[in-house]
Structure 1
Amino acid sequence: MSDYVSADLYHTYMNSIWEETTDGIVIVDLQRIVLDVNPAFEQMYGWTKEELVGRKLPVGPAHLYKEFARLYDQVIEGKKVAAAEYPKLCKNGKHLHVSITLSAVRDSSGQTTGIVAIERDITKRKQTEKALRETEQLYSHLTQNVLAGVFVRQDRKIVYINSYMSAMLGYTREEFVTLRTADYIDAIELFTIKRQVAEILIKKREPRYTVTVRGKKKDGGFVYLEVNLSLIMYKGRTAMLGSAKDVTSSVALERSLRESAEMYQRVMKLLPEPIVLSDHGKIIYANNSAIKLVQADEKNEVIGHSVFEYIHPDHHEESLRMMDLIMFDEEPSQFEERQIICRDGQTIDVEMSSIRINNYMGKRVILTVIRDLTDRKRSEDMLVRSEKLSVIGQLAAGVAHEIRNPLTALKGFTQLLKTKNEGYGSYLDIMSNELDRINLIVNEFMTLAKPHFTRFNDENLVHILRGVISVLETQAIMTNVDIETQVEDCLMIIHADANQLKQVFINVIKNAIEAMPDGGRVTITIRSNFPDSVCLTIRDEGIGMTDSIIGKIGQPFITTKEKGTGLGLMISSRIIEAHHGTLHIVSRHGEGTEVQITLPLAKPATTELN
C-alpha cells in the first residue's frame, strides 16, 4: 500500500473494484474452500454467495478436476497462472468458456494463505472463433476443390493461390510467390488492366471488375482467362481477391463466330439491295444501302433500334406474323409490299423477303432483303397517266372538232335570242355561260390532243415570272390577294419554251388566287440550287387539300374548284416534264397549298452564247 493512500481510501478502492468489475472474482483457501465471491461471479455462474462460501467450487467439469488442481498447486508453489482458457459449468448446467488468472493471497509474513481467481467470460469470442475456423475451413475446401483458379494478391505479390490456378498456368504455389505479374499475364494487356482496376475498384468503389486476359503458361503457351477481381480484407489489410476461369475454347469460338459474321457483313455490304439483320425485332446489322434507304446519317441511328420504328404501323401486325413464321421455316418468305418510314418521316413503298440465318454470332437471326419500289411505282403511275392522256387525246381528236361547230351555232343563236327576247335574258345568260364552259373544256381537250411545237431558248426565269405576275395582278387586287415575291439576287437562266412556262405559271398562280376567295397572300419564291437547278415555290393561304385529293391531283376531272376540269394541272405537269423538271404539291388541310417547280439551269456554255 502506498504511503500516499490511507488505509480507508485503499479499502474503498478495492471494494469498488470488487463490486463493480464485470469479471468474476472468487477467493479460496489452500484446500480450495470458497471464502468469498463478488457479484459478477454470482451473476456469471448462477450460484449465490451463500451457496458457495464454505464449500469447494462446483464450477469445474469433472474431467478437468485434476487440471484445476494442478493450476492451484502451481500458484501455491509461487508460479502465476494467467489467461488460461477452460470450460466451466453453471448452476443451470450450461457451459461457459472463461479466461482464468490465478494469484496467491499472502499474509504479512509472506506465507500463501489462499488463492484469488479472476475469471472472464469469453464464450462469445470462442463461438466467433469457432465460426471463423469453420468458415475458413469451408472457404479452404471451396477454393481447393472449385473448378476455377483462386488467388489473393497483396503488396504486389501473390500471397495465396489454389491448386487449380497453379495447374492452369503450370507454376507451383511456391513459384507463384516469386513471380512478377508480367510473368504470367500478357504485358500488352497488363497496363490497361491496372488502370481499369484503379478506376473501377478503387476510385469508383465498384464491388467487382471482370476482364478477359491472355495468361502466359510456364511452358510458353497461352491460355485465355476470364478473371473476376474484388477488394477484400485479408489478415487485417486490403487485398485483392481474384477468381479465374479458362475460357480459351470460348474465345476461339467467339473469334470464329465473329469472323463468320464479318464475312456475312462484307458480302452484304457489297450487295446493292438494302439488307437488314434483326434479332427478336432488334436491328443488329444494316448494310450501306439500307442506311441510305431510310435516310440515316450514321449506322448507330439504325443499329440497335427496333425494326418496327421503320415499318409503317399499318403493317406491324402482318410483319410480326411473318417474323414468327420465318423462325420455324427453312424457306425464305415471298416478297410482300410494305411501307417504311424514313428518318425524316417520309414514307416509302418497298417489298420485303426474309429468311432465317441459323448461326450468326451463335444466334438465330432474320435476314431481310428490301427492294425500293419508288421508281417502279412512279413508272406505273406515269404509265397509267400516259394511258389516260392517250385516251383523252383520242377522245379529243375524235370529238372536239365535231362539238365545236354546233357550239359556235348555239352560241350565235343564244346571242341573237338575247337581243329579241328581253324577258328571258337571265336564262339566256345562263345558257351562254354554260356554252362558254363547254367551249373551255373543248379547248383544253384540243390542247392535249394536238401536237406541240416548242421553241427552246435560253430564258431568264425571273423575267418570265414577272411578266405572268403583271397579267394576274388585276385579278389578285379584285379578290384582295397580295402577291409577294422573294427572288435571290442572281442570274437564273434556263433552257425553255417561255410561252409554255407562262401557261404553267398562270395556271398555278391563278389556282392559288382562286383558293382564297376571302383574300390572303400568295408568296412566290425563287432560289437557285447552283449549279444544277432552280426551284420556284408558289404558296397560298387557302384551305388546303386532304391527302385523298392530293394523291389524285393531276388526273383528269380531279379538282377542288366547282367549275374546274382538272386538265390544267395535267397540262402543266406535261410541260414541266418536257422541260426535264419536276412539279410537286404539298398541302395541309386548313393551312394552304405549296407548289414546288424545279427546272434545270442552262449549261454554262449555252448561257455564255446567249
Structure 2
Amino acid sequence: MEQDSLIKYSFTYAPGGIALISAEGYFVRVNPAFGRLLGYTEDELANRQEKQLTSPNDPGVKEAAAPLLEPGAASRITVVKRYLRKDGGKVRVKLEVILIRDQDGAHAGFCAYASEWPEPEEPKMLQAAELYEMVSEHARDVISYGIDSVLQFVSPASLKRQLGFEPEELIGKHASEFIHPEDLESLGEQTFRESDSFICRVRHKQGYYIWFELSVKRVIDPEGTQVKEIYIGRDVSERERAQAALRHSEQNLAQSQRIARLGSFEWDALTGKMLWSDELSRILQTDRLAGVTCEELLARIHPNDREAVRKSMREALAGREIQLESRIVLSDGTVKFIRMQSMTTLTSNGRPLRISGTVQDITGQKLMLQMLEESVDRYTSLKKYNLDAIVSLNKSGIMTSANPAAETITGYSVLELIGMPFTDLLAPEEERAQTLLHKIMHEGALSSMEMKIVRKSGQPAYLLATPAPIYVNRKQVGCYIIAKDITEQKRKDELLLKSEKLTIAGQLAAGVAHEIRNPLTALKGFVQLMGRSEHSYSQYLPIMKEELERIETIISELLMLAKPQAVQMKIADLAVLVQDVVMLTSAQAMLLNIELRFSTTSEPLPIRCDPNQIKQVFVNFLKNAIDAMPRGGMIDVSLEAAEQKLALVCIADQGCGITEEQLRQIGEPFYSTKEAGTGLGLLVSHKIIEHHKGRIHIASEVGVGTTIQVTLPLHR
C-alpha cells in the first residue's frame, strides 16, 4: 500500500505534465501539471479526445505514435506539437510518448510526458563539431561509439554523472562487460535490427547496477568487415522502480482478490466497454481481454434475477451506490451466486463517467446457508411430528421448549409447559428421577429411565425417558428429554406378571398339597388319639402347634405369589427372600428326589426392591431347575457380596442343560425348551431384574447342567 501511495503521489505532484491516453485517443487521466499547460482541470480533460485539443495542422498522439505499433519498433517516440488552450491561445509542447502494453503484450494506450517547448528561433548554422560537443557535454543520455561492440568513445560528462566512470576506463573494452549477466543472456537470445532499443542493467563503477534504456544504431562498412555502433543510453531506474512497484501492487491485489474470491470491474460510460480483473474472469469463466459489454454481462444473469439487476444498474447510472445479490448462469449451465457492489463517477455536469465495482462469489456461503436452513427444517419436522414427547431443559431444569407430542402425553399446552420445572410433572414418589436429572445437568450422566408423571387431569402416566445433553461452545447449557408413553405397556406387563404368577402358583400346588398332607396326617392322628382317651396329652400340643405354623407359612407364601399386589419398593434382605423361596419350592423338589442346598453369608444383603417380584423371579428359576432334573439330583443356591457393592445369587442345577443355539433364544416371548412352556417366565424375570437395576447371566452345558447368576445392587 505504501508503494501505491508513492505512485499516486509521484503522478500528482510531478513538475512535468503526464497524460494517460487510451488506444482510441481519449484522455484517460492527466496530472495537474498537464492541465495547467492547457488551462483545463483534470476532470475537464477526462474522456475528451486528444485530437480535438490539438492544433489543426498538428497530428494527434494516436497518429504520431502509430510507428510504435509496428513489429520490432522502439517503445517510445518524441512528438513536438501545439495544443489549443482553454483561453483560446496555443501552447507548443514536447511530448515523450511511451507505448503502454498490458500483461499479455497487447496495446493498451499511451503515456505522454509533456513539457512546454519554445517556438524555434531563426536557425543558426552550427559546425558539426560544435553540435557534437554541445550534445555530448549537455545531454543527460550517455552517448558512445564502438566497433564490433568494442567501445571507442563515451561522452564524458554524462558517463561520469550516470555511471561514475572516466572515459578512459571504458575505452577499448567490450560493451558486454558492463551489462548484467542475466540481461546479457536474455539479449543473446533476441534478434536485433539495424536500429533497435532494449532495457537492461548496466554496472556502476561502485559495483551496483542501474536500469538503462539503450538505443543502438548499427552501420556496416562498405567492405562488410566491421560493424560500427552508436549507443545512446538513458537512466530509467526510477521508471523501472515505479513499474516494478506497480506490478507488485497489481500482483498483491490479484492475490488478495483470489483469496477473497472477489473480482473487480470498470464500465466506461463513453465507450460502453467493460474491463475486469483476472479473478472476475475466473468467477465468470470468460476471457478477461474479450470486449464484453454491459448487455452481454446482463445476459449471463439468471432470468429470474435479470429485472432486479437492470433496476440496480439504472440506479447506478443515476449516481447511487448499489449492493445486490443475484445468480449467474455460466457457459456450462452451472449456476453461481454473486454479491455485487458498485460506485459511480460523475462528471461536473452530473453525467455518468464510469462505474467501478466488485463481484464476490458467494456460492459456498449460499450453499452452507441452504444446508443450515434444511437442517433447521429437518430438526423442526423431527420435533413437530415425532410421536414421542421432546422437551428441552435449561441448567435449572426449567422447560424451554416442547413439541406437540408433549402436549398430548401431559395434557398441558406448550405455553403452559414452557417455564414450568420438569420436576413439577413427576409423581411425588419419583425421587430417583429427580436425582438422575440433577446428575445429567451437573455430572453428564446419561441413562434411560422409567418415571411416573401426573397429567394435568390428575391421572398417572408412565414414561420411558432418554436424556440428551445440549452443548453450546463446548459447554453444556441444558438437555433434551425424549419420553415415550409406556402407560399401556406397563398395564400389559402387569397383566403378564399376574398371569405368570398364577401359572407358577398352579404348578406349585401339587408340591404344596403334598407338603401340607404330612402335617395334616400327624394332626389328624393326634386328634383321634386325644378323642379316644380321657387322659391329657399336653405334651403333643407343641408338636401340633409347630405343624400348624408350617402349614400357615406354606399357604402364605403360595398366596403371596398368586394374589395380585401393588408394587411396593422397600428395603429387604435378599438372603431372607431367597431362603423363603427355597423353603416354598422344597416340597416340589422332594417329590422328584431333588435336594435343595442353600448357603449364604453371615452378613445381611439389603436391597431396594419389591419383595413379591424378587420372590417370583427365584421361584421361576428354581422351578425351571427342578423341571430340568426329572431323575433327581442336587440344586445349589448360594448368595455372596460381590465387588462394586453388588449382591450375587447363584443357582446351579445338574439337569440336562441346553445348547448354545437355544441359549441365544432364551428370554424371547413364546420360546421354551419345554413342550407345554410359553417362554414368558424368563421374559418376565428379565424385566423384573432390569427394573431393579440388576443383571442375569445364564451359562449351560448339555449333559452337565445350567448355572444362573443374578446380580442386584446393594442398598447403601
TM-score range, shorter-chain basis?
0.3 to 0.5
Please identify which structure carries the higher helix content. Answer: 1
Q: What is the TM-score normalised by the length of structure 1?
A: 0.44
